[in-house]
Structure 1
Amino acid sequence: MATVALLLAAASPAGSTLCSSVENKIEPDMRILESDLTQRAATQAADKLRDMVKRDQLTGDFRFGALNQSKVVYGHILLRQAQSDRKEFGPDSQESRESKDGFCKWLSSEGFWYD
């Protein structure tokens, strides 16, 4: 979890959504939004997940909660990489395009909440 904490240490820069032009076929009420993937949300999700692991609350009714917390942390990491690459290399760079495409693909296919 120390690695997760380090990755979350950098604040998420504000700005427009990276994936606004990407078609998302996930039902609107099930979608994880870019705005759900803030540093604060990821830090809270990591803390909740750590507590769930400690208490062995990963199966049965707890399974989906643990998976949702994992999605927030993972989505935040992808988002931060895309934002960082855009800032460091420029929006038209290969690095920026690849990390943005990876994030947007994840968001539009795996970015959904478990019930």
Structure 2
Amino acid sequence: MVVVQVLKSAVDRQRPVHPLVLVDHGSFPSGHAFGAALLVVLVGALFVPAARRGRWWLFGCLFVLTMMWSRTWLHAHWLSDTVAGALAGTATALLLWCAFAPLLAREAGRPRRH
């Protein structure tokens, strides 16, 4: 969420008028879309077996698109805010995955302790 708050403070974009939910400052990017995309990518990368990832990515895309639609429909964000949030969440997840891939690979090679 540090990434979202830094971007919100840097851009400081006003939200649509009369949102249907309680919101904080700054509209850009959508923290909900960011979190949804981050969750989908990290769960898919770390926990979903490779044979089932195709279905997971389809489900994940639908989940993120639904989150983007709901935040726009609630007048909490502009559409571009949700797109930026989803892209930033995906990019952050991929960067974290790449950064920690050597540690994960090393851990996967060790026998588990019970």
**Which range, TM-score by smaller chain?**
0.3 to 0.5
Q: Which has the larger radius of gyration?
A: 2
Tell me the TM-score normalized by structure 1.
0.35
**Counting helix residues as a fraction of each chain, which structure ranks higher?**
2
Tell me the TM-score normalized by structure 2.
0.35
